[in-house]
Amino acid sequence: MNKVKDIIGCITDIAPLHWQESWDNAGLLVGDANMQVDKALVTLDVTEPVIDEAIEKGFHLVISHHPLIYKPLKHLLPENTIERTIMKAIKHDIAIACMHTNLDNSYLGVSKWLADQLGLKNQTILEPMKVEEDVLTGGGMVGELENAMDEKDFLAMVKNNLNAKALRHSDMLGKKIKKVAVCGGSGFFLLDNVKRCGADAYITGDVKYHDFFEADGKLLLVDAGHYETEQFTKKLIADVIIKKFCNFAVSISSVNTNSINYFV
């Protein structure tokens, strides 16, 4: 048995909580840090079905990427999904922790796993930020494909490697794709960095209609989906825990928490 804080601690070793953005709410959100647990359930989002799964399988610790609680709560009543989920977790003695933008800003975090999934070499942080001496963190990642690809072949590879139902993208430019920037989740805010580094393509999620115009004939801007670009975070968290606590049971939730569905 290990304490909740020990399990969380092995993740914050590579992604300290002070690396999170000021608006974020990463860390232990529900439960007792000193509670003893023997296994953890890992998910991208904490939803009622995820808590139901934890109850059914006897998990007393759920670790997610996205925080269950973003805004202050004025009460705990069964009036919405967030409050019902929290109440159910408390009733069944389930602790909930999240590792969000602290993991986004880690060199070993979300965007690196996305870059690895796309086979990018020579990876560097897209928007470096120095939070302390000799430690480099930041948003996004940029790297190179082993071999340059035609745009259609590149898009097909991205769709396949991310198991995406569909891709949204800016105008094709009729040029080869070699240098690629990525950011898991909502990464449009990094587009200026992408342009400065000379990337041929940028993969992220949550790109709005007018944002695609900002590609401005300089690169291929691809929206592969928020969930699709962050889905590997579940395995990232699980692997970090298993590496530190080899006898601790970790399971990735079987619940698909992607809030977006496609009719094709």
Burial class (CB in 10 A: 0-12, 13-18, 19+), 166: exposed
pLDDT category of residue 135 using cuts at 50, 70 and 90: confident
> Of 42-51, 88-97, 126-135, which gets the smallest average pLDDT?
126-135
CA 31 from centre of chain? 23
168-169/135-149 β-pairing: unpaired
Q: Helix, strand or coil for residue 3?
A: strand
Q: What pLDDT is stored for residue 123 in this prediction?
A: 97
Q: What is the mean pLDDT of the chain?
A: 96
Confirm if 172 and 220 have CB atoms less than 8 A apart. Answer: yes
More confident residue, 246 or 250: 250
pLDDT category of residue 221 using cuts at 50, 70 and 90: very high
How confident is the model over 15-35, as pLDDT tens digits? Answer: 999 999 999 999 999 999 999
Q: What pLDDT is stored for residue 264 in this prediction?
A: 82
User: What structural domains and CATH numbers belong to the chain?
Assistant: 2-103+231-252 (3.40.1390.30), 105-224 (3.40.1390.30)
Confirm if 197 and 179 have CB atoms less than 8 A apart. Answer: yes
Predicted model pTM: 0.95
